A = this chain, B = another copy of it.
């Protein structure tokens, strides 16, 4: 990271007294233009930079090859900071490094420190290093290296100089780009950000649809001066995004809490699974899962959360009828009489999971994800859910959500997890 200290200094000189720093984003990769992959890096960077006080003013996607040079030259004429993702890897179509040299009129040299890191990266994994990898140790003269903690291609920062903007080159894979931005780029940019940043807060709500939510809160939120409001609906949840001054944001949040607080996840903007883990930990409760149609998705989402081992120990994926009987003790005659997708069966699954795990609460789901398996009586998209509480009642719910397999499974996992929070509300009421 030597050489980075002077980067922000030079940047300040470059932008002079300007209020708003102009940022442009270039994503390279033929696979993006062909639609083989969706450009999630752009959305993530746009959002992350906005949080830090920068607004991306243009985003350009170009194929691998000489188009990168042209795009960099064009962005250089408009922007103060140009962020380029992709094309830093070891293969022959990775040419962003060369493009930077071309645009800035510099040569490159082999950086022995980077070469050593590459060697030890492969050594640690017990793999012999292919020669082409050393291409990644080539550093344009004057550029600083950003260490890649999750891959081989290091990032590069070329300080602003003369009429040229600051260039930041990042690897394309999101699992490498994101940590590099957090660890190296943000500390670099934070000093540069506009002091008078508009603030952004995202609130996540579950258990209410987008249009109902809008009817409930939109008029009131728009009465707050200088507050921008936007909604973003996903399967089984809606995000409300508020942008404005700190004062406007506080007013907006207060209104949202009064009108729709019952649906808001806490802390604000947290994922549903995280809200569930935090809530269970608070209550000293453990949860067990018994899944049929979701096939492990509910357990997977809970264990996505670091520290979830404090609240989750046992999960069953009982995909077949005989698994429900053998693993959870669901009586065969109930399965025969009512079918696997039925209230008595999910009840028995939840109780079986509760007894066998010793957990405080167990959630069970059984449904028809499709595309096959539907009947006129129980069409694709039918699901039964049950939540069994230690020493208490078992709640059940039926839902019909006839969508594609992936959306259905996501929605069922939303419902199952949200039910663990509903429990909280219900308990608070009866206490």
- A237 CB, min distance to chain B CBs, angstroms: 12
User: Is residue A356 within 8 Å, beta carbon to beta carbon, of the partner chain?
Assistant: yes
- A114 CB, min distance to chain B CBs, angstroms: 15
Which single residue of chain B is at the shortest CB-CB distance from A129? B211
Judged by DSSP, the binding face of A is: mixed
For the complex, give the distance between the alpha carbons of A395 and B232 in Å. Answer: 47
User: Is residue A344 within 8 Å, beta carbon to beta carbon, of the partner chain?
Assistant: no
Contact (Cβ within 8 A) B64 A61: no
- Contact stretch, chosen from A27-35, A252-260, A331-339, A414-422: A27-35
- Contact stretch, chosen from A5-13, A160-168, A382-390, A402-410: A402-410
Residues of A within 8 A of B (CB): 29-40, 42-48, 50, 55-64, 67, 71, 74, 89-93, 124-125, 127, 130-133, 150, 152, 173, 175, 179, 200, 202, 209-212, 214-215, 218, 222, 229-235, 239, 241, 289, 291, 294-300, 302-304, 306-309, 312-320, 322-323, 326-327, 356-357, 369-372, 400, 403-407, 409
Contact (Cβ within 8 A) B34 A55: yes
Contact of A295 among B44, B131, B229, B300 (CB under 8 A): B300
Q: Give the copy number.
A: 2
Q: A47-B36, A296-B303, A304-B295 are in contact. Are A323 and B319 (CB under 8 A)?
A: no
Contact (Cβ within 8 A) A47 B34: yes
Contact (Cβ within 8 A) B299 A317: yes
Contact (Cβ within 8 A) A35 B50: yes
Contact (Cβ within 8 A) A300 B300: yes
A200 contacts across to B, CB distance below 8 A:
34
- A203 CB, min distance to chain B CBs, angstroms: 12
Q: A60-B59, A304-B406, A404-B179 are in contact. Are A42 and B35 (CB under 8 A)?
A: yes
Contact of A38 among B39, B235, B300 (CB under 8 A): B39
Which single residue of chain B is at the shortest CB-CB distance from A307? B372
Contact (Cβ within 8 A) A214 B130: yes
Which single residue of chain B is at the shortest CB-CB distance from A316? B316
Q: A61-B59, A230-B93 are in contact. Are A241 and B202 (CB under 8 A)?
A: no
A90 contacts across to B, CB distance below 8 A:
210-211, 214
A selection of 30 A-B contacts at a CB cut-off of 8 Å is A29-B232, A33-B58, A34-B200, A35-B47, A37-B43, A38-B39, A57-B63, A59-B61, A74-B74, A90-B214, A91-B210, A132-B214, A150-B403, A173-B233, A175-B235, A295-B304, A295-B315, A296-B296, A296-B297, A296-B299, A304-B406, A306-B369, A306-B405, A313-B319, A313-B323, A314-B327, A315-B317, A315-B319, A316-B317, A326-B356
